[in-house]
Amino acid sequence: MTDLPGRRLLLVHAHPDDESINNGATMAKYAAEGALVTLVTCTLGEEGEVIPPGLAHLAADRDDALGGHRVGELAAAMKELGVTDHRFLGGAGRYRDSGMMGAPQNERPHCFWRADVDEAAAYLVEVIREVRPQVLVTYDPHGGYGHPDHVQAHRVAMRAVELAAEKAFRRDLGEPHEIAKVYWNCVPRSVAEEGFARLREAAAAGAAVPFPGVAALDDVPGVVPDEEVTAAPRTAPYVAAKAAAMRAHATQVVVDGHFFALSNELSQPLFADEFYRLVRGRAGGPGREDDLFAGLGLPGPDFTGPDGGAGGAGAGAGEGAC
Ligand SMILES: CC(=O)N[C@H]1[C@@H](O[C@@H]2[C@H](O)[C@H](O)[C@@H](O)[C@H](O)[C@H]2O)O[C@H](CO)[C@@H](O)[C@@H]1O
Ligand SMILES: [Zn+2]
- pLDDT tens for each residue of 237-273: 999 999 999 999 999 999 998 899 999 999 999 999 9
ipTM: 0.99
Ligand 1: which of 21, 61, 100 to mutate, most ligand atoms within 8 Å of CB?
A: 100
166 in a structural domain: yes
Is the per-residue pLDDT at 170 higher than 90? yes
158 in a structural domain: yes
Please count the other Cβ atoms lying within 10 Å of the Cβ belonging to residue 274.
Answer: 26
Q: Note the pTM of the prediction, 2 decimals.
A: 0.94
- pLDDT tens for each residue of 48-83: 999 999 999 999 999 999 999 999 999 999 999 999
Is the per-residue pLDDT at 200 higher than 90? no
308 in a structural domain: no
290 in a structural domain: no
Is the per-residue pLDDT at 25 higher than 50? yes
SS3 43: coil
Put residue 34 in one of left, alpha, beta given phi > 0 → left and psi -120 to 50 → alpha: left
- pLDDT tens for each residue of 277-316: 999 999 998 999 999 999 999 988 865 443 444 433 444 4
Over the chain, what is the mean pLDDT? Answer: 92
297 in a structural domain: no
215 in a structural domain: no
The number of helices, as runs of H, and strands, as runs of E, in the chain is 6, 11
How far is Cα 107 from Cα 46, in angstroms, rounded to an integer? 15
51 in a structural domain: yes
Mean per-residue pLDDT, 176-194: 98
- Work out the burial of residue 7: count CB atoms within 10 Å of its CB; fewer than 13 is exposed, 13-18 middle, 19 or more buried: buried
SS3 261: strand
197 in a structural domain: no
Cβ contact 220:268 at 8 Å? yes
Hey, whose CA ends up nearest to atom 2 of ligand 1?
18
Ligand 1, residues at Cβ distance < 6 Å: 15, 17-18, 21, 45, 47-49, 97, 99-100, 147, 252, 262-264
Hey, whose CA ends up nearest to atom 22 of ligand 1?
99
User: Residue 71: which CATH number?
Assistant: 3.40.50.10320
Query: Residue 304 phi/psi, 5° resolution?
Result: -120, 145
Task: With cut-offs at 50, 70 and 90, classify the pLDDT of residue 4.
Answer: confident
Domain that holds residue 89: 8-188+220-255+271-280
What amino acid occupies position 192? A
Across-strand partners of 205?
A: none
Helices marked H in 178-302 — which ranges? 189-204, 239-248
Per the structure, the count of domains in the chain is 1
Residue numbers in the known binding site are 15, 18, 150
Name every residue whose Cβ is closer than 8 Å to that of residue 8 and which is 6 or more positions away in sequence: 35, 36, 38, 131, 132, 133, 134, 135
